[in-house]
Amino acid sequence: MAAITVVGVGADGWDGLAAGSRRAVQDAEVLMGGRRQLGLVPPSAAERVAWPSPLLPALPELIRAHDGRRVCVLASGDPMFYGIGSTLVRLLGPGRVEVLPHPSSLSLACARLGWPVEGVEVVSLVGRPPAALNAAVQPGRRLVVLGADRGSPALVAALLTARGHGPSPMTVLCDLGGPGESVERGTAEAWTAPAASALNVIAVECAPGPGAEPLARVPGLPDSAFEHDGQLTKREVRAVSLSRLAPLPGELLWDVGAGAGSVAVEWMRAHPSCAAVAIESRAARAAAIRRNADALGVPALRVAEGEAPAALEGLPAPDAVFVGGGATAPGLLETCWAALRPGGRLVVNAVTLESEAVLARWYGRLGGDLVRLSVQRASPVGGFTGWRAAMPVTVWSVTRKDAP
């Protein structure tokens, strides 16, 4: 198969292309891209193929249909920045894709604002749930949000205001690098207007108002941050359990018997590339998990409704498994242990004598770390203050060293 050349095109079109990029377009036998990108380059003898919708399912066959021809794919800005270049590399491998980038909208926006690129957090709304922005809203942070349409600035403003960050300055930059480039400024709480163009980037300097309640990215969010019916791994125990689970970028967690989904949510908040599946048998709790995931900025959390271990069948192999309850269920720990990847971590919490007995047997067989946590909270005792103890929790954690 011949290599495919991917050319990044800015809003300035043909005039903004480097000589190498122009040659790639002129030499192509087939030009592929969105209708807007195809309209930015001059006519040629090349066959023009506009992307279908949806694109991803059709892409492999499109590439095969033109095998042996010089194919040039047109993309917006930097094709490797949330672009088709990354998709083609995953599909074909890096050896079959040559990328000729243009400055990305992120680079152009930061250049206009005088912001160091490495000092901003990027959130894309293009084909992604807006709730992902919730995790990024932190006091003092600079955000660059890639808009999906003209309504994106108002959507971002409403989300910021709802999180108590209404005073945050916003700058909306449209058609960056093109002749129609525009810049509008305001604050989130006062923003209502649509963007001048669907090609917009929203720059935000997060400024909390008096009612804002910032939520840290380290494990141990307040219990009040979650919607729950009491079935919740409490804050202190959750922090210890997550330290044993040890989330790493790109890893997958199974949260078995997820309840409110607090462990899965905090796992995913540890890094944007972390993924999780929350397994929960009760429909009302599963719905609450989805709401918690949205509110806390991890809308990609997958919820699998069903009773474990049967509900675990067919799920992708995990790098870590958390069992917050139900350790006595027949076959549950066996299924979780067998599914773990080498180097994976299993963490199981127990509060009853029966489940502690199960953990003792597994600890005797596999070793690991076995600890008991006892938490006491200060509370009123008449006119004074005393300690009230929560139920102690036993935490067993073990790392899989061998292959399944």
- Distances 355 to 132, 312, 336, 362, 365 between C-alpha atoms, Å: 37, 20, 16, 11, 16
How large is the average pLDDT for residues 144-159? 97
**What is the average pLDDT score of the chain?**
95
In this model, does residue 403 exceed pLDDT 70? no
Res 402: pLDDT: 76
Q: What is the DSSP string of 198-252?
A: SSEEEEEE----TT-----SSS---GGGS--SS----HHHHHHHHHHH---TT-E
Cβ pair 368, 341 in contact under 8 A: no
Can you tell me the distance from the alpha carbon of 203 to that of 183, in angstroms, rounded to the nearest whole number? 11
- For residue 54, cis peptide bond before it (omega within 30 degrees of 0): yes
Res 325: pLDDT: 87
- Which residues on adjacent β-strands are paired with residue 320? 253, 345
Cβ pair 232, 223 in contact under 8 A: yes
Collapse the DSSP code of 171 into the 3-class scheme (helix H, G, I; strand E, B; otherwise coil) and give the result: strand
In this model, does residue 229 exceed pLDDT 90? yes
CATH: 3.30.465.10, 3.40.50.150, 3.40.50.1100, 3.30.360.10. Which one for 223-399?
A: 3.40.50.150
In this model, does residue 352 exceed pLDDT 80? yes
In this model, does residue 3 exceed pLDDT 90? no
Q: What is the pTM of this model?
A: 0.91
What pLDDT, in 10s, does the model give residues 178-211? Answer: 999 999 999 999 999 999 999 999 999 999 999 8
Res 131: pLDDT: 95
The two most distant CA atoms of the chain are separated, in Å, by 88
In this model, does residue 327 exceed pLDDT 70? yes
- DSSP letter at 333 equals H
Res 2: pLDDT: 67
Residues 6+ apart with CB under 8 A from 354: 328
Tokens of 324: 């917050």
Among 21, 32, 101, 30, smallest CA distance to 68 is for: 30
What pLDDT, in 10s, does the model give residues 60-77? Answer: 999 999 999 999 999 999
Res 22: pLDDT: 97
Can you tell me the distance from the alpha carbon of 260 to that of 232, in angstroms, rounded to the nearest whole number? 6
CB atoms within 10 A of CB 222: 10
- For residue 309, cis peptide bond before it (omega within 30 degrees of 0): yes
**So where are the chain's domains?**
4-102, 106-205, 223-399
- Starting from the edge strand earliest in sequence, which strands make up the sheet with 30-33, in order? 47-50, 30-33, 71-76, 4-9, 97-100
Res 356: pLDDT: 96
Res 162: pLDDT: 95
What pLDDT, in 10s, does the model give residues 15-32? Answer: 999 999 999 999 999 999
Q: Cα-flanking dihedrals φ and ψ of residue 159, to 5°?
A: -65, -45
Res 384: pLDDT: 96
Alpha helical stretches, state H, 93-231? 105-113, 152-162
- Distances 72 to 18, 47, 77 between C-alpha atoms, Å: 15, 10, 15
Residues 6+ apart with CB under 8 A from 126: 82, 146, 147, 148
pLDDT band at 302 (very low <50, low <70, confident <90, very high): very high
Can you tell me the distance from the alpha carbon of 252 to that of 241, in angstroms, rounded to the nearest whole number? 16
CB atoms within 10 A of CB 47: 13
Q: 4-102: which CATH architecture?
A: 3-Layer(aba) Sandwich (3.40)
Cβ pair 273, 267 in contact under 8 A: no
CATH 3.30.1490.190 fits 106-205, yes or no: no
